[in-house]
Every structure is written in C-alpha cells, then in structure tokens.
Structure 1
Amino acid sequence: MGAILADIALVVLPVFGVVAMGFVSAKTRLISDKASDGLAEYVFGLAVPILIFKTLSESRLPEAQPWGYWIAYFTGAFAVFGIAMVLAIKVFHRSRTEAVVHGFSAGQANTVFLGVPLILKAYGEEGAVPLFLLIAIHLPVMLVAATVLVEGSAGLSLATARKLFRTLALNPILLGIYAGGIAKLLGVQAAGVPKQILDLISASASPCALISLGLALNRYGMSGDLKATAIISALKLIVHPALVLLLTLLLPMPPVWAGVAVLFAAMPCGINAYLLAQRYGAGVQTSASAVSLSTALGLVTIAFWLYILGVG
C-alpha cells in the first residue's frame, strides 16, 4: 500500500507543484497579469497544438475505433451536465442560461492546462492517442450542446451558428489535430532541424500549461454561491469519473483507453466554462469559483482515481 501511494504521489505532486508555483508567482506579483495572458496564449495557440500534431503524426492510430470509449465518456459527461442543470433550476432557482453554465461547468473538463500534462505523465506515449482524440471531440461536442441549449429557446440564429462554426474551425487545438491526422495519413513526419524545433516547443507545453493554470487560479479566486460551486465540483470530480469507470467495465475498449477516459473525466472544471459564462453574462462568479475549487480539490480526488485505476 505504501509503495502504491508513493508512486501515485510521484504522478500527482509534481504536476500540482508546478501549478502551485504559478499561483504563488502571481500572488507575489513575480509574474504579472499581462504575462499570464501571454503565456496562456502561447500554450493554447502554439505549444499544445504542436505537441498534438507531433504526437498524432508519429503515433500508430487504432485500425478500428473503440466505440465503447466514446460512449462511456460522453454518457458520463452529459449525465452530470443534466444533473447540474436540474439542480440549478430546481434547487438554486437560476435562469435557464445560468443553468446551462452550471451544466457546462460540471461536464467540461480542464483538458489542455491540466489533463494533457497529468494524463501523459500517468500513461506516457501509450495514452497520447486516446487523449488527443478525445480532446478533438470533447470541446466541439460540449460547446455545441451548451450553445444550442442557451440559444435554442429563442431559436438558434444563423449568425450564432456561423460564429460557433468559425470558433471551432479556427481553434488552434483542433487545427493541430487536423494537421496531425493529415500528416499521419500522408505518411509525413518531421526530420532534422524541423523535428528539433517541434521537439523543443512540444516539450514546453506541459510545464507552461501548468504555470498558466496557477496564474489563472490566482485571477479567478473564490466568490459567489459556494453551495452551487461545491455541487458542481462534486459532480465533476466524483460523479463524472465514477459513471465513466462503471461504463468502461461494461463496454469493450483497450485498458489504457479506459484509464484515459476515467482520468479525463476526473479533471477539474475547465476554464472554458468561465469563458462561456462571460460570453452570456450569467453564472460568471459561480463558474470561476468552480474552476478554482475543483482544481484545489483535484489534488486529492485525482490521486484517488489513480489509486482506483492502479496507476503509479
């Protein structure tokens, strides 16, 4: 037991330790808000897309898609999405739009800034393909669902549909996935100096993402309705991965893919929930608090799920 816990600590503590360094750096003004924005743009716009491109172009993709993997993850995601919406309306008496923000917060995982570094550390290269394939589908599916739910009552306009399509089509993460998939199909791989450049940038993705997350946590802080925040965090950190774990035991998929699905579900609330709340002007404080609280609690809950999965 002691050896297992020590192994799990070696996976979790370095990751959250770097996040803590980012948080302390922002708190002590060692790094400014301006630098925080720039680092986040670098991670999201360049480092992680190149890491994804490099991984997909060099990896061996599965000959057949394990559909159980997709069903398990998204069944859990939409279950907690729905539960959070119902609780927001029935228990907290929130508007439809704010209820959607609650649901999106519970179902949208922090994939780029925490999921990529932590899952790659837990599963290595073997977990990279299922991780990045899920990232490719995760954001578009959840964002489209949230937008339709918010806009649907008034009729989804053509302008909104165009804006959503443009947002997804030009998303740097998705562009990295498209480019990596095309390179893999064409059998194109970087070599020589170009490969060294890609290697250097992709190596910076994980540490920069973690520092950026720490800086963001200092900015968002904790405010708003803590009861709603706690429920959203519980749905994200406990209920979502528990549902996915149950379904991975019932549906066929490779063991590593099952582990990636559970860990992906166990990630804290994603910053995209806060951005969605800002866009619609509803649930901003609650979504920001959910990001902060779920990330802080994630140190313990992710260690628990790693133990359940036998990773370490």
Structure 2
Amino acid sequence: MPPLLAALLNVMVPVALVAAIGYLLARRLKLDQDTVARLSLYALTPALAFDTILNAQVAAREAATLTLAFLLTWAVTVTLSGLVGRRWPLQTRRSVMASSTIWNSGNLGLPIALFAFGQSGLERALVVFLTGVIGTYILGPAIYNSGAGWRGSLRAILGLPVLWAALAALVWRVSGVGVPLGVSRGVHLLSQATLPLVLLSLGIQLGAAGKLSITPPMVFASGVRLIVGPLAAFGISLLLGLRGQPLAVLVLSASMPTAVNALLLAREYGGDAQTVAGVVLVTTLGALVTVTAVVAALPYLP
C-alpha cells in the first residue's frame, strides 16, 4: 500500500471509530444530544481556538493571502449552494449552504497536511484551520439567522465565546506577555477534548436518527464539498498568486469532508440536522476516494 494512502486511512479510521462509538451509545442509551453539542460549542471549541492561536507560526503576508483565498473559496461554495438550493425548504437550503461550505480543516486537515508536507505544511494548514474555526462560528449563525436581519445575526455571532477566545489569544500573543503555565496547561487540556467529543456528537446524532435516507440535498451538498471546493480553491489560489506548497495546502484542505461543527450549528440554530448529518457521513466516506485523488495530483500543481 502506498505510504500516503496508508496515512490517509490511518487518519480516517480513528475518526470513524470514535463516531461509531457515539452511534452505538445512542442506540443503547438515552443521551441528551443538545447537552453534548453545547459542551463542544460553548466550552471546548473556544479552548481549542485559544490554544492553537497562541502556538501557530507563519509569515504574516502569506497567512493573509491564505486567509483571503480560504474566504473566497467559501464565497463560491456558499453562493452556488444558495442559488441551487432555492428549490428546497428554507431550513434545508440553509443547511445545504452550511454543510457544503464548512469543511473539516482541523482533525482531518491538519494531520493529512503533516503527512503530505511535513512540519512546514502543518504550519500553513494551521492558518487555514484558524480561519475556519473563527469563520465557522460567524458564517453558521449568519446563515441560520439571516431571516432575523443583521441585528439578529450580529447578536448570535457575538454570543459565541469562540470569537472572544480567538480575539483574546491574538491580543495576548501580540502583547508578548507569556501565558501562566497553569493557565496554558489547563486550556490545552480542555482543547484536547474537543475533537473526540464533536465526533461522538456526530455518532450520537446518527444513532438517534435511525436509518439514514440519502436525499438530493445531501448528494448536491456532498458534491459541492468534495469536488467544487478543491477546484474553487485551486483557481482562486492561482489568481491570488499562491504557488507551491501554500497552494497545495489550501487545495488539500478544501478537499476535506464537511466538519462536524456544521452539525453542531444546525442543531443549535434549528437547521435541518438530518441533512447535515447525512452530508457529514457521505463526505467523510467519500473523502477516502477524493482526498486520495487530490493527494496524488498535488505534485503536478504549479
């Protein structure tokens, strides 16, 4: 088996295992799904954002270009999904927009970037991850609360602690003041629980939902996420002048499946959680094929 394929499988199998445990627990036990989701949304994800921002290292100009390319890729997928999704009910359309756009740049994107490019690739992938973490909790509430006007969207965004955690980490880092060791260790310890719990939340949602029926919105959102996403990232990166490893890192990240956080947001804001859970599952399984194809194509990128 080729080394990169083995690395991809070694990343995907642990993810599937944790989600499967959540699925089995939901089938056998009566679990409060909302409590599990809110622990991730309001406690663990802010800790992960704070911890990661304090430790990330990358040149400011390159980070700014990567961030812009990331956001423009999001603009392409969310606009396309919104236009095509007009035929579906409002909550389904909003959930398609979110699930086709918010990708898993963290627990899949980071290790795969490390396997493919080494430490320098991981540092660039961290920029994409940080943009995604902050952007997810701005885009998600904005999509689901768009009917409430800009004031409602703004209130929803400001009510999420991950934004304040990220801003606090940036200020702390710029100030040059060291974080007390006890605080640093505590936040890091809390951040380490984020990824397992969000994956358990996915499994719990799927287990409680029973048999999953594939629907046209799921298929469309999955196609946008796995095919349109990396193609858009490639074109936008070329236009912005990204070449070599920065371009490859963004394209690889944009090929990741839908993030579990998209499901957490759908549950929190009354979206079509069934559709989002289906997209997460379909794209996670489909990524075994599409991400392998992207990795094989990376050496041929300019």
Structure 2 length-normalised TM: 0.78
Of the candidates 75, 88, 97, which is equivalent to residue 94 of structure 1? 88
Aligned position for 2:117? none
Pairs within 5 Å for 1:173-188: 173-188=162-177
Cα pair distance change 1:217/1:117, threshold 3 Å: same
Does structure 1 conserve the Cα–Cα contact (< 8 Å) formed by 2:23 and 2:204?
Answer: yes
Q: Distance in 2 between matches of 1:309 and 1:14?
A: 24
For residues 288 and 23 of structure 2, what CA distance do their matches in structure 1 show? Answer: 14
Matching residue of 1:218: 207
Listed one character per residue, the Cα deviations across residues 69-91 of structure 1 (whole Å, up to 9, x for unaligned) are: 244333333333333333334xx
Gaps of 5+ in 2: 115-121
Deviation at 1:171, TM superposition (A): 0.9
Contact 1:22-1:210 within 8 A present in 2 as well: yes
Alignment of 1:1-312 (within 5 A): 2-29=2-29, 32-34=30-32, 36-60=33-57, 62-64=59-61, 66-89=63-86, 93-94=87-88, 98-109=92-103, 111=104, 115-123=105-113, 126=123, 127-141=125-139, 143-144=141-142, 147-148=145-146, 151=147, 160-220=149-209, 226-253=215-242, 255-256=245-246, 258-260=248-250, 262-264=252-254, 266-268=256-258, 270-271=262-263, 274-275=266-267, 278=270, 285-309=274-298
1-side partners of 2:127 and 2:240: how far apart?
A: 19
What is the alpha-carbon distance in structure 2 between the residues aligned to residue 222 and residue 306 of structure 1? 32
TM-score (norm 1): 0.76
Residues 100 and 48 of structure 1: is their aligned pair in 2 closer, same or farther, counting only changes over 3 Å?
A: closer
Preserved CA contact (<8 Å) 2:255 2:294: no
Return the offset for 1:27.
2.5
Could you tell me which runs of 5 or more consecutive residues in structure 1 were left unpaired when the two chains were aligned: 152-156
Q: Is the 8 A contact 1:222 1:293 kept in 2?
A: no
In 1: Cα distance, 2:182 partner to 2:94 partner:
47
The one-letter code of the counterpart of 2:257 is: M
Distance 1:104 1:59, change over 3 A: closer
Percent of pairs with identical residues: 19
Report SS of the residue matched to 2:192: helix
User: What CA distance in whole angstroms lies between the structure 2 residues aligned with 1:226 and 1:12?
Assistant: 24
Query: Is the 1:16–1:299 Cα contact (8 Å) retained in structure 2?
Result: no
> What's the secondary structure of 1:278's corresponding residue?
coil
User: Over aligned residues, Cα RMSD in angstroms?
Assistant: 3.3
Question: What do the CA deviations read for 1:33-62 (whole angstroms, capped 9, x no partner)?
Answer: 22x443333322222211221221233353
What is the number of residues matched between the two proteins? Answer: 288
Deviations 1:234-277 (A, max 9, x none): 11122212221333344334725751464245222621563487
Q: Determine the C-alpha separation between the residues in 1 that align with 2:16 and 2:5.
A: 16
SS of residue paired to 1:198: helix
Secondary structure of residue in 1 paired with 2:206: helix
Aligned equivalents of 1:243, 1:187: Cα separation in 2: 37
1:101/1:287 contact within 8 Å kept: yes
Amino acid at match of 1:140: I
* Cross-structure match for 1:154: none
